[in-house]
Structure formats: structure tokens, C-alpha cells
Amino acid sequence: MKNFLVHTDEVKQEMLKSINMTNIEDLFKQIPQKARMEKLGFENPLSEMEVQKRIKSLAKKNNTDYVTFLGAGTYNKFIPACISQVANRFEFLTAYTPYQPEISQGTLQVMYEFQTMICRLTGMDISNATMYDAASACAEAILMAVRVSKKNKVLVSNKLNPEYIDVIKTYCWANEIELNIFDELPQNTSDYACVLVQNPDFYGEITEIKKYDCLLVVCVDISSLGILKPPYEADIVVGDIQPLGIPMEFGGPHAGFIACKEKFMRQIPGRLAGRTVDADGNPAYCLTIQTREQHIKREKATSNICSNQALMGLCATLYLTVMGEKGFRQASYLSAKRAHQLSEKLAQKGIKTLNKEFYNEFVIEVLDADKFLNNLKTNGIIGGLKLDNKKILVAATEMNSEEDIENYIKNI
């Protein structure tokens, strides 16, 4: 630690000045004061038993008994019990990253199988072994397209998840990329590095995927690919793997993926696991085509902050393995079926669905969104995500029974 020097007050002020702020507190202005925790409330030192008792009492304040129809990027999906049993084994739980492949064969094989499954689902040739989440995957795909095309302008649909757009804005600002968020695409896209669209989009609408005069990046709901056609027209496909065996957990953790055509293999960020044979001719796994700063010169790295959500990738791999092709398709079918059942029953009550075509998520129009959602919440149902005073984004999955749908209708 001899070489470690903390930032001096002068350095701190210089850093703050560069982002037009005067003090560190300014960094947290966007967080309402009422939402901040001033202190934990442990007045005096406590014994281990006392701490456990206090934490359990606090945990009970989290109400997890709601029937949920929330979506918007995080979904309540069925998770086979065996997934946590395998994923929590110490061999996997403690394996952050396989820097020593000769003793990391299990982790590397899981990464390789994960990549294979993502390629089969998306129709792409190459996949990496996870990203932080779909938002960073979208942003990394844009950087990838800029490197490939040598063009500095990108087009992003305004129907992309707003949280993903916020992350993209930060990446584009930092890399001096001109970001154009569109409602209607310009006729000529040849001046742009890529077009980024989401399918189904943030509002649940299934959109037509077609080729453009630039690279095409498609952000997918991975669970929809059980019944929807893979986006073969895309050059790069990204998304979130939370629907694959990862619980909602109050919003995290998530993990993303990025897959692409083989010709862009050298530009894909993150880790890639490859399969080969050892000196005895037995199957062996290793990290390959590394474009991370740990493996090549920093200035040549595709991404300096892209990481590997190995444990989340393991959960997704286990989920797809256990569910199998038939089970995965059935879960997708049931999600769509339940959503369409709910939409039809809402229509019978005079509540309009604004989507023309949707998978398991749709927007409804009501007289008063707050009143509508509060009525449901009072009766143990989280009815969706409020978009504005009259619009609500509603999602259904295989976890929503026909009885849940009847209760939803009864309590609006």
C-alpha cells in the first residue's frame, strides 16, 4: 500500500469542477432526501444474536406476498428448485473469474454452454459469456458498431427501455458519439454506424425487424424467443438474461449478453470461452480471442469496464438445460397466453389495450392510473408500471394463474 495516495482536497475540487459541481454532496442531489439512510440505527454495539434478530425484523417489512403483473425489464418467472442447489455449490459460487483455466474447467464449460445456448436462441454465430445487464450490453453494442463502421453517429429507437437509453447517453457522451433518438427512422441510414431497436419494444409491441444501410442492433426479450422468430436480420443481438432462472429480488442482480455475426468476432467485448482438446485428446475449455485490457494493450481493448456475471450466467445455463427446448417454449407460450387473456378480459370491462401485437406485455389506458393501481395494491396485486396519469404497462408470465387474472379484473 506504499504507493497508494488518497485524493487531496485540491484534487477533489479539480475533479468536481470538471463536472460543474462544487462539493461531493452535489453528486447525490438526484436522490430525494427522504430516500436516504442517514444511519443504520444500531445505537450501541450488538452481539451476533442481537444483530440477527434486528435484521430479521427489518427484513419482515419487505412485503413479498403480492401477485405481480410488473414487467418493464424484470419479470416474475418460474425457477426450477434445482437451480439454486447447483448454483450455490461453493465451486461455482466463489468462482469470480477463471484466470487459471487448468483448474477452472467447470466454470469455463458453463460459459461455453451458455454461449452456445444464446447463439441457438438468437440465431447469431458468436456470443460472449455475459455482460453487466442489458443496458450496458446495448451501449457496448453501439461502441462495437462505431469501431466496425468507423462512423460516429448512431440511431436509437425511442421505444427502447428508458433506463437503457440513459446508460447509452452516458456512453455516447464519454466517447463523443452523436446519439440520435428517433420515433420515425430517416430514409437514409447509410451515414450512421447502427440502428438500435428493441423487440418486443419497451411497451410490449412486436416490431418488424428489417435490414438497413448500416449495422442493425436488436435488443430482445430472451424469453420471447421460445415462440418468436430469432432476429436473423440483426448484426448484433443484446438482451438481459434475468428471465432465465434469476429471481426478481427487488430489482437485481441482472446480467446481459451480447451476440453477433462471426465477422464481428474480434470486436465483441467481454470474455469468450472456447472448446479444444488437451494433449491427450480430451475435451478442454479455455478463454479465447480476448479483447479485454487484462489480456491485450489497453488502447487496443474493446472495453475496459465490461465484466462477466459468471454466477448469473450459470443460473441461465442451468435454467435452459433443465427446462429444455420444450419446457422453454411452453413457458413462453403460457406467458403470452396469460397476457392475452388479461387483455381480453380488460376489454370486456371497457379498458383499452393500446398495442396491436404483443408477446406478454402491453399498455392499457385508464381514467386514473394511480387510483387503478392503488385499488389493486390494496387487494394484494401489483397491477403494472405507471407510465403517465392514464397509461399503465402490464406484464403477465407463466406465474400468473387464471385465478390471478380473475382477481385482477374483480379488483379494478
Three-state SS string across 192-244, please?
A: CCEEEEEECCCCCECCCCCCCCCEEEEEEEHHHHHCCCCCCCCCEEEEECCCC
12, three cell numbers = 477533489
Residue 109 within any structural domain of the chain? yes
Handedness of CA 113, 118, 121, 123 (dihedral sign): negative
Omega into 101 within 30° of 0, i.e. cis? Answer: no
- DSSP code of 257? E
Residue 31 within any structural domain of the chain? no
Q: What angle do CA 174, 178, 179 make, to 5 degrees?
A: 95
Is residue 238 a contact partner of residue 121, using CB atoms and an 8 Å limit? no
Regarding whether 270 and 132 lie in a shared domain, the answer is yes
Identify the CA nearest to 138 among candidates 189, 177, 183, 185: 177
Omega into 230 within 30° of 0, i.e. cis? Answer: no
Helix (H) or strand (E) holding 277: strand 273-277
**One-letter amino acid of 162:** P
Burial class of residue 154 in the structure, from the number of CB atoms within 10 Å of its CB (0-12 exposed, 13-18 middle, 19+ buried): buried
Last residue of a domain, one of 299, 318, 337: 318
Give the pLDDT confidence score for residue 102 in this predicted structure. Answer: 66
Regarding whether 214 and 339 lie in a shared domain, the answer is no
Give the pLDDT confidence score for residue 236 in this predicted structure. Answer: 98
402, three cell numbers = 387464471
Is residue 268 a contact partner of residue 291, using CB atoms and an 8 Å limit? yes
Regarding whether 370 and 275 lie in a shared domain, the answer is no
Residue 163 within any structural domain of the chain? yes
The cell 477533489 sits on which residue?
12
Handedness of CA 79, 83, 88, 94 (dihedral sign): negative
Task: Compute the distance between CA of residue 207 and CA of residue 218 in angstroms, rounded to an integer.
Answer: 11
pLDDT 10s digit of each residue in the chain, 412 long?
A: 456 667 888 999 999 999 999 888 888 888 888 888 777 666 778 889 988 998 899 888 888 889 999 999 999 999 999 999 998 888 787 756 666 666 788 889 999 999 999 999 999 999 999 899 999 999 999 999 999 999 999 999 999 999 999 999 999 999 999 999 999 999 899 999 999 999 999 999 999 898 899 999 999 999 999 999 999 999 999 999 999 999 998 877 899 999 999 999 989 988 889 999 999 999 999 888 876 666 666 677 777 566 678 889 999 999 999 999 999 999 999 999 999 999 999 999 999 999 999 999 999 999 999 999 999 999 999 999 999 999 999 999 999 999 999 999 999 9
Identify the CA nearest to 76 among candidates 338, 272, 320: 338
Last residue of a domain, one of 265, 295, 318: 318
Judging by DSSP bridges, how do beta strands 273-277 and 153-157 pair with one another?
A: unpaired
Regarding whether 398 and 292 lie in a shared domain, the answer is no
Task: Compute the distance between CA of residue 96 and CA of residue 315 in angstroms, rounded to an integer.
Answer: 14
Task: Compute the distance between CA of residue 12 and CA of residue 293 in angstroms, rounded to an integer.
Answer: 27
- DSSP code of 293? T
Regarding whether 386 and 366 lie in a shared domain, the answer is yes
Regarding whether 282 and 149 lie in a shared domain, the answer is yes
- Give the CATH number of the domain where residue 105 resides: 3.40.640.10
Regarding whether 128 and 252 lie in a shared domain, the answer is yes
Give the pLDDT confidence score for residue 1 in this predicted structure. Answer: 44
Give the pLDDT confidence score for residue 100 in this predicted structure. Answer: 67
Regarding whether 314 and 191 lie in a shared domain, the answer is yes
The range of the structural domain enclosing residue 313 comes to 82-318
- Count CA atoms closer than 13 A to 307's CA, side-chain side: 11
Task: Compute the distance between CA of residue 251 and CA of residue 67 in angstroms, rounded to an integer.
Answer: 16
Q: List, in sequence order, every residue forming a beta bridge with 153; answer none if it has no partner.
A: 178
Regarding whether 284 and 170 lie in a shared domain, the answer is yes
Give the pLDDT confidence score for residue 3 in this predicted structure. Answer: 60
Regarding whether 359 and 295 lie in a shared domain, the answer is no
Residue 12 within any structural domain of the chain? no
Regarding whether 341 and 208 lie in a shared domain, the answer is no
- Count CA atoms closer than 13 A to 163's CA, side-chain side: 11
**One-letter amino acid of 266:** R
Give the pLDDT confidence score for residue 4 in this predicted structure. Answer: 61
Regarding whether 199 and 89 lie in a shared domain, the answer is yes
Is residue 158 a contact partner of residue 181, using CB atoms and an 8 Å limit? yes
Residue 308 within any structural domain of the chain? yes
The cell 410488473 sits on which residue?
70
Last residue of a domain, one of 318, 346, 379: 318
Task: Compute the distance between CA of residue 230 and CA of residue 225 in angstroms, rounded to an integer.
Answer: 6
Phi/psi for 26 (5° steps) reads -60, -25
Domain count, the chain: 2
